[in-house]
Amino acid sequence: MDIDSTERRVLLEIYAAGVAAVDGRSCVAGFVQDELRHDHGWNAHPVYLVGIGKAAARMAAGAFDVLGRSITSALIMTKSGHCEPLVLGAVPVRCFESAHPIPDETSFRAGELLMTFLDAAPACARFIFLISGGASSLVELPPIGVDARHVVRIHQWLLGSGLPIGSMNRVRKRISRLKAGRLATYLRGRETVNLLISDVPEDDPRVIGSGLLIEHSQSDIDVSDIPLPSWVAPLLLNPPALAEASAFAGIRTEVIARPELARAAAAALAARRGYPVKLHEDLMQGEANDVGKSIALQILAGAPGVQIWSSEVTVTLPSAPGRGGRCQSLALAAAITLAGQQNVYLLAAGTDGTDGPSMAAGALVDGNTVQRGRRANGDATKHLAAADAGSFLDVSRDLITTGPTGTNVMDLLVSLKTA
């Protein structure tokens, strides 16, 4: 099977179409332009912009495209390597890169910079917040009395715990002065538009970026049903107080990009290419290895054509994990089930262009993936068990590398079965 086949190129085009539909720059620009049509008060207040997340720089570019020098000052906090060049003229902008997926001292520095930025803004300021996936790690302030090293250790444990994103965020929210809506207190009632790109199930604003500006209740930070290691539980006993309801009076939140938009755009391109399309509305969740096998069986049992899913799978990591991420694990698990089958393909990739702590966005596998890797002395089963899918998929030439995409709406899975 040709590694540069027409079918593989089509799958990459379908993925690219899905990503383009939720581009942070265009989505923010469209929203802000519509705001200006209905609200002529933007020029009456100094506008301060805050971007937090892996798509923050691209989202900020969209705001500047429309507002230009109407923005007084901007602070963008994003993942290392994601500060894209922006032509901003005389507007003071700081783009600060910090750590993801596990916070470190740069994440805590980002939290301090955010506090300084908010304090410096005048009482008449109007804020635009741009929040996307990755915010939970990129900006943090630990509770008073909790050592920052403990926060890092908890994030490290969460990454390999196999917990769903909602449970992970409830733990994160108990060890933060910013998450679970606590950031709203620092706005001191100033008018704020909070624009979100959703990378979570059901597009829940309380989960996106750990709900920095979203009102929470005690049940939203309850961890009593989560199995916690003995060393974690004591650190979560006394979480910082939640913000009062009055802190949210001036905040308006809008989700401007979501996974269903990416799926719909991907499906539309597949249909234009002449393929029958099955669009799955149910989110694929669970252990990546199990989901990969399940999807492979669906492909084999299904009719020829394209199938599209969004996914939010987890990987329970061994003590010494190898190279890769959840999309790469899912793809390799599928490739093992598809081994030897002809005319079947599966693309699994993050819409943000990254997959775990690796440079790859994901992988595009087919029925010959296992054989190609074996010829390069790879053992697919052993690599998968060692959470080292990336090493195998590298030698089988199935990795996808896109670089930062400027968005993040969960992972996109696209399969193709030809007649």
Q: How far apart are CA 327 and CA 364, in angstroms?
A: 10
Domains delineated in the chain: 6-18+260-417 (3.40.1480.10), 23-257 (3.40.50.10180)
- Give the residue, 419 or 222, on which the prediction is more confident: 222
Q: How far apart are CA 232 and CA 316, in angstroms?
A: 18
According to the model, what pLDDT value does residue 45 have?
86
Instruction: Grade residue 269 by pLDDT with cuts at 50, 70 and 90.
Output: very high
The conformation of residue 55, written as its DSSP 8-state character, comes to T
Question: Is residue 1's pLDDT more than 60?
Answer: no
Question: Is residue 71's pLDDT more than 80?
Answer: yes
Q: How far apart are CA 64 and CA 112, in angstroms?
A: 24
Task: Express each pLDDT in 116-164 by its tens digit.
Answer: 999 999 999 999 999 999 999 999 999 988 899 999 999 999 988 888 8
Cβ neighbour number for residue 79 with a 10 Å cutoff: 23
Question: Is residue 165's pLDDT more than 90?
Answer: no
According to the model, what pLDDT value does residue 346 have?
98
Please give the backbone phi and psi of residue 333, each rounded to the nearest 5 degrees, phi first: -60, -40
Task: Express each pLDDT in 91-104 by its tens digit.
Answer: 789 999 999 989 99
Q: What mean pLDDT is predicted for residues 245-266?
A: 97
Backbone region of residue 188 per phi and psi (left: phi > 0; alpha: psi in -120 to 50; beta: other values): left
Q: What mean pLDDT is predicted for residues 324-342?
A: 97
According to the model, what pLDDT value does residue 243 have?
98
- Is the model's pTM score more than 0.75? yes
Start-end of H helices in 195-287? 259-272
Q: How far apart are CA 252 and CA 248, in angstroms?
A: 8
According to the model, what pLDDT value does residue 340 have?
96
According to the model, what pLDDT value does residue 149 have?
94
